[in-house]
């Protein structure tokens, strides 16, 4: 039997490779330290001088050497054992070693001061995201209010923890959400007015002014002209609000035709003007959506001849818009609250009624003959 077979590795046992040269640099350093006690002072001084000169050359070649963890531990320990350590230090500044020592001091006492039970309970990602969500959705809520909501949801944490996570959240809030909240809370008392233009068959531009209420999306007044002025707008407002109205706010953009005279007229009628921001048509969204519906569903399919023709076309569309057209924003209803037709009998048939020259239709039940 071969002698090597006696040292064979059993089947299934992992092979362990021992690297004896792993500790070799440390052993050589220890041997050099022991050797220093047996040589003369002159020889030792010359050796130190030669080593310092080589370190200076290496420092010029690589000004900032990378220090490993074992190097930091060595200089930290040497600082505690030898008062002259700073005189022989060349590769880093003495302040750096002092910083290492202080960092080790903090780590040591942090380890010694750890709580027996593992310390304070960590704030989970779910709670952090919930804090940020509440802060974004409620711009004026502070830590006490958010903490109270979390307590009511069964979460256990301190108000100070909530305050710490609130520092990372933008506290201004979304101006768009505040504006939409204003519109929702006052829609029964809001009207909006705006202009849009229509081109005639002779390439002339006609201006249409309309007033729409927010609650049921009804068109309260409209008119057409070729030469819109502020005086003309004031006259149209007098016709629209000839009697006392339940409305309190009027939303309008910054068109030059809505000048100080128009604003004064609105105030005299008991309406508070609310101007939209510049280049922000979404703030007058009800009026803008009505213009879009009017164009897509009707005006893009007809060519007005003149002012009277356009007024008649718009009157037909508004009549259809109020009585027949279904609105998603009104829960599938019309501004005039169209009634639900029940099927009169099992033999009844659905018939269609053309609207706007056949562009749209309304459907209803017809009794069988």
- Per-residue pLDDT 10s for the chain (369 aa) are 444 444 444 444 444 444 454 466 667 767 777 777 777 777 777 777 666 766 666 666 666 666 677 776 776 777 677 666 665 565 566 676 677 677 877 777 777 776 555 556 678 888 888 888 888 777 777 888 888 888 888 888 888 888 888 877 665 555 556 666 766 777 788 999 999 999 999 999 999 999 999 989 999 999 999 999 999 999 999 999 988 788 999 999 999 999 999 999 999 999 999 999 888 888 898 999 999 999 999 999 999 999 999 999 999 999 999 999 988 888 889 999 988 888 888 888 888 899 999 999 988 888 776
Domain count, the chain: 5
Residue 7 lies in a domain: no
**278 and 194 housed in the same domain:** yes
Same domain, 326 and 186: yes
One domain, residues 345 and 325: no
Is the same domain home to 191 and 324? yes
DSSP-assigned beta bridge partners for residue 219: 212
What does the alpha-carbon distance between residue 271 and residue 191 come to, in Å, rounded to a whole number? 9
In a domain, 13, yes or no: no
The CATH number linked to 193 is: 3.30.420.10
The answer on 187 and 321 residing in a single domain is: yes
| CB 249, CB 271: distance < 8 Å | yes
Q: Is residue 11 part of a domain?
A: no
Question: Does residue 215 sit in the same domain as residue 281?
Answer: yes
CA distance 269 to 280: 26
Residue closest to 257 by CA, chosen among 233, 237, 278, 241: 233
Q: Please, which residues bridge with residue 366 across strands?
A: 349
Residue with structure tokens 């057209």? 325
Do residues 192 and 275 share a domain?
Answer: yes
- In whole angstroms, what is the distance from residue 240 CA to residue 224 CA? 14
Whether 5 maps to a domain, the answer reads no
Q: Classify strands 249-252 and 272-275 as parallel, antiparallel or unpaired.
A: parallel
Same domain, 236 and 314: yes
What is the torsion angle, in degrees rounded to the nearest 10, for the CA atoms of residue 308, residue 311, residue 315 and residue 317?
Answer: 120
Within a domain: 156: yes
Residues 320 and 354 in one domain: no
Domain that holds residue 365: 339-369
Q: Which pTM was predicted? A: 0.55
With respect to residue 1, please indicate whether it lies within any of the assigned structural domains. Answer: no
Residues 259 and 185 in one domain: yes
Residue 352 in tokens: 């269609």
């Amino acid at each position: 039997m071969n002698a090597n077979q006696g040292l064979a590795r059993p089947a299934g046992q992992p092979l362990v490779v021992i690297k004896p040269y792993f500790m070799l640099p440390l052993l050589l350093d220890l041997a050099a330290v022991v050797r220093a006690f047996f040589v003369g002072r002159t020889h030792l001084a010359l050796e130190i001088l030669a080593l310092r000169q080589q370190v200076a050359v290496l420092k010029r070649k690589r000004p900032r050497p990378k220090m490993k963890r074992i190097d930091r531990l060595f200089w930290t320990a040497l600082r505690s054992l030898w008062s002259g350590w700073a005189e022989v230090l060349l590769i880093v500044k003495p302040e750096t070693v002092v910083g290492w020592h202080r960092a080790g001091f903090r780590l040591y006492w942090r380890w010694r001061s750890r709580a027996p039970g593992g310390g304070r309970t960590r704030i989970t990602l779910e709670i952090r995201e919930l804090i940020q969500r509440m802060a974004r959705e409620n711009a004026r809520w502070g830590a006490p209010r958010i903490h109270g909501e979390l307590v009511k949801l069964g979460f256990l944490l301190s108000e100070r923890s909530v305050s710490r996570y609130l520092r990372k959240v933008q506290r201004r809030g979304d101006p768009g959400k505040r504006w939409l909240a204003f519109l929702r809370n006052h829609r029964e008392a809001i009207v909006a007015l705006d202009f849009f233009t229509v081109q005639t068959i002779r390439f002339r531009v006609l201006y249409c002014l309309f007033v729409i209420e927010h609650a049921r999306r009804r068109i309260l007044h409209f008119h057409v002209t070729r030469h819109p002025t502020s005086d003309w707008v004031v006259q149209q407002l007098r016709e629209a609000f000839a009697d006392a109205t339940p409305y309190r706010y009027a939303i309008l953009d910054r068109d030059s035709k809505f000048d100080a005279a128009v604003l004064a007229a609105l105030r005299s009628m008991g309406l508070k003007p609310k101007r939209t921001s510049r280049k922000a048509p979404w703030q007058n969204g009800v009026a803008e959506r009505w213009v879009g519906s009017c164009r897509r569903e009707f005006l893009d399919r007809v060519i007005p001849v003149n002012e009277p023709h356009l007024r008649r076309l718009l009157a037909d569309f508004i009549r259809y818009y109020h009585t027949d057209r279904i609105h998603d924003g009104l829960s599938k209803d019309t501004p005039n609250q169209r009634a639900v037709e029940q099927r009169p009998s099992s033999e009844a048939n659905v018939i269609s009624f053309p609207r706007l020259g056949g562009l749209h239709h309304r459907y209803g039940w017809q009794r069988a003959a």
